[in-house]
Chains A and B, each alone.
Chain A
Amino acid sequence: MNLKTLATAAMVTVMGTSPVLADLVFPSLSYRTGPFAAGGIPFADGYADYFTLLNERDGGIGGVPVQVPECETGYNTEKGVECYESTKGLGSLVYQPLSTGITYQLIPKASADGIPIHSMGYGRTSAANGKVFEWVFNYPGTYWDGAAVMVQHAKDQSGGSLEGKSIALLYHNSAYGKEPIRTLEELAKVEGYNLTLIAVDSPGQEQKSQWLQIRRERPDYVFFWGWGVMNQVAVQEAANIRFPMENFIGVWWSGSENDVLPAGAGADNYKSLAMHNTGSDFPIYADIQEYVVDKGLAAGAGDQIGTVLYSRGLYAAMLAAEAAKTAQEIHGVADITAAQMRDGMEALEITEAKMEALGLPNFGPEFSVSCANHSGPGLAAIQQWDADSETWTIITDFMAADRTVIQPLIEEDSKAYADEAGITPRDC
């Protein structure tokens, strides 16, 4: 943790719950310490740097400065809830908890408090149903979309059919890791593949048994739902048993530089889902250099710029800022409230023209959000690791998930939540 983070944390503590009405507040529930810090730091840096850029270059959003109070969760659910409670009084517009566990805890709290949550590619998948989850958004795609896109890619690789093929899902034995199981089971009925489920207990430093099983059973594909140290160990073990890496596909949380670099050349050709592009070869980075880095305002140590998870933090901040702009347009005020922010998120439309104007051409997919659909169309691409150049490259177009299987699952799960929580679904 650096001094800047300490200072921000101290500021949050000192400010307590006194509202700061003059600024737009986007709290950052980060984790810069503990076993998952290597994933949390670049995301938090990207999130903070984008808002710093808007403040320095544009004077904020719609002329209103942006504040990003940072609170350390350590990827711990209890601490995450404490962070939410200690920052919500600052006039927070949206929370991005960066943890499925924290998201599950915050869904009822934030819904009651009237503050939107954006769990971008994590959290509760059925929150895609905006009729039930009025305050929760998970665009541009969900875990179930991700699983369906993996199946689609495997199908394309196998000449258009997965009939008789075998797929093993290696997953973190937690709510997060179990998210894709139902989707993959349903898709197995449609596509005719055999699915083997292989669980790994957290944190996942020891996976010998699991990889010996994979070596014995020789599945055609291994799909992978890991986080933290589990990722590095899995990629290393796959390389050790000489599993064909082009058939080893991770979720978007298992596809950063951190996950593949420790395995060296063995990680070559490993694939993962991508919800956005990566690298620093986009026009926006010239502005980040001029307005953020050169002014000494970069978050953290400033050494994460352009990495996959930095790009994800930047992308998350960009989507939040665009939703805030949309809210300002809808309501005709610059100093928006959390409820108005929610309206902006629900009316969000991301087009290629808009991204190009932001300095992010071809960075992410085009999508729109609606009252009924809080996840967008469920788009993801596949990226592949090149160990020589140590770079990720997107090798497919952004593909839409087959929602014919997923949509009934979303309806079923969200209905169960609505019944349990006593929610009457909205008409939209």
Chain B
Amino acid sequence: MSPTFLYTVEVILNGLMAGVMYALVALGFVLIFKASGIFNYAQGVMALFAALTLVGIQQGQVPFSHLINAVFGTDIHHFGWTVPTLLAILLSLCVMILFAWLVNRLILRHLVNQEPIILFMATIGLAYFMEGLGDLMWGSDIKRLDVGLPSGGSFWLEDVTAGWAAEGSEYYGMYIDLLDVWATMIAVTLVIVLTLFSQYTKTGRALRAVADDHQAALSVGISLKAIWVIVWSIAGFVALVAGIMWGAKLGVQFSLSLIALKALPVLMLGGFTSIPGAIVGGLIIGVGEKLFEFSIGPMIGGATENWFAYVLALLFLVFRPQGLFGEKIIERV
């Protein structure tokens, strides 16, 4: 095989896995939008907050220690213990559930029946508040997140594929990051669990009922407030997973909140109401932007991925305004 063909395959595979990482973030947006019609601007910051909380708990950091020290003149930073990863993840999940309850109690219940734009603005405020709160709770320094997942190129794959190229050609084997492979497996598991939950549990069916028609769901006795808490909790869980995967790649830092920017074209393409849409959209964006950068990028100065993802999404929007898997808009005249 020619090295160019093999490199193209490598770019496609890496694009698919980058797409899974984008889809992880997009999933959180979809869950909340589907159940409540809210475009949650704070989803990226939720991933950051969840990852900060996880590292803080793991390392036994005292929350708000800078504030406590400044007010009381103390010098405390750590409890002196570390928490095993799995327990830390569970505790972080509890924090995200508490966060979901507070968001509903303090913000959303006061905004019932408001215009979607008002709810959207509320999530903008929430995003900035959470960014500041995360800073105050856990500090602004860049933290290393180690949850035991392997990372780096796969030696095995490199060795196996190194001989695939034509003899005499300069080919060094195929590169795939093990962390991306793990992210893919986790994302697939997450989607299966979410699908099973929504199809086969009473709560899942209630979620789908609310997503289909709020008023009809209310009329059969489904509590909208309880459902919203559940949805925001699930979105918090998805944010925690996204925060772990991205945090393991970048380190846990405030730029983590900007991963939401990578999810927007995925949502435009896949639709705001479809879980499979988020996954397929992520894969198309991931492969599309990587292939464009590989084939056209060098001719036009590179750094094309950020804008090309949006161009790709816009192209799809022209033909399917509701996104690839979004619900078809039918208006009766």
Contact = CB atoms under 8 A, between A and B. Distances in A.
Contact of B258 (A3, A35, A208, A239): A35
Contact of B14 (A212, A264, A303): A212
B120 interface: no
A120 to B, nearest CB: 22
Given A206-B18, A212-B11, A240-B177, A201 B306 contact: yes
Interface of B: 7, 10-11, 14, 18, 66-67, 69-71, 73, 77, 131-132, 135-136, 139-146, 151-153, 170, 172, 175, 177, 246, 249-251, 253-255, 257-259, 262, 289-290, 293-294, 297-298, 301-303, 305-307
A203 B255 contact: yes
Q: 3 smallest A-B Cβ distances: which pairs?
A: A262-B251, A199-B303, A229-B255
Which of the listed residues A199, A216, A239 has the most CB atoms from chain B within 10 Å of its own CB? A216
Nearest to B139: A301
A212 B18 CA distance: 13
Given A1-B135, A200-B303, A209-B11, 10 more contacts: A2-B66, A3-B67, A41-B140, A198-B302, A209-B290, A209-B294, A229-B250, A236-B249, A239-B152, A261-B144
11 contacts: A33-B131, A35-B253, A37-B140, A38-B141, A201-B307, A205-B246, A205-B249, A208-B14, A212-B11, A242-B152, A301-B66
Interface string A17-32: 0000000000000001
A173 to B, nearest CB: 4
Interface string A44-55: 000000000000
Nearest to B304: A201
Chain A interface extent, by class: 35 or more
A241 interface: yes
A291 to B, nearest CB: 18
Given A1-B135, A209-B293, A232 B305 contact: no
Contacts of B254: 33-35, 37-38
Contacts of A201: 303, 305-307
* Interface of B, helix, strand, loop or mixed by DSSP: helix
Given A2-B67, A38-B141, A205-B258, A232 B303 contact: no
Given A1-B135, A301-B139, A208 B290 contact: yes
B306 to A, nearest CB: 4
Nearest to B18: A208
Given A35-B258, A203-B258, A258-B142, A232 B153 contact: no
Contacts of B144: 261-262, 264
Contact of B153 (A34, A38, A173, A241): A241
A233 interface: yes
Nearest to A6: B70
Interface centre among A3, A210, A212 (most CB of B within 10 A): A212
Nearest to A215: B175
Interface of A: 1-4, 32-35, 37-38, 41, 173, 197-201, 203, 205-206, 208-210, 212-213, 215-216, 218, 228-229, 232-233, 236, 239-242, 258, 261-262, 264, 266, 296, 301, 303
A216 B7 contact: yes
Contacts of A33: 131-132, 135, 140, 254
A129 B87 CA distance: 59
Contacts of A301: 66, 69, 139
Contacts of A4: 70
A330 to B, nearest CB: 40
A229 B153 CA distance: 21
Contacts of A218: 170, 172
Contacts of B77: 303
Contact of A241 (B146, B175, B305): B175
A197 B71 contact: no
Contacts of B151: 236, 240
Nearest to A7: B70
Contacts of B7: 212, 216
Contacts of B143: 262
A81 B249 CA distance: 34
Given A2-B67, A173-B303, A38 B142 contact: yes
B253 A38 contact: yes
B71 A205 contact: no
A262 B303 contact: no
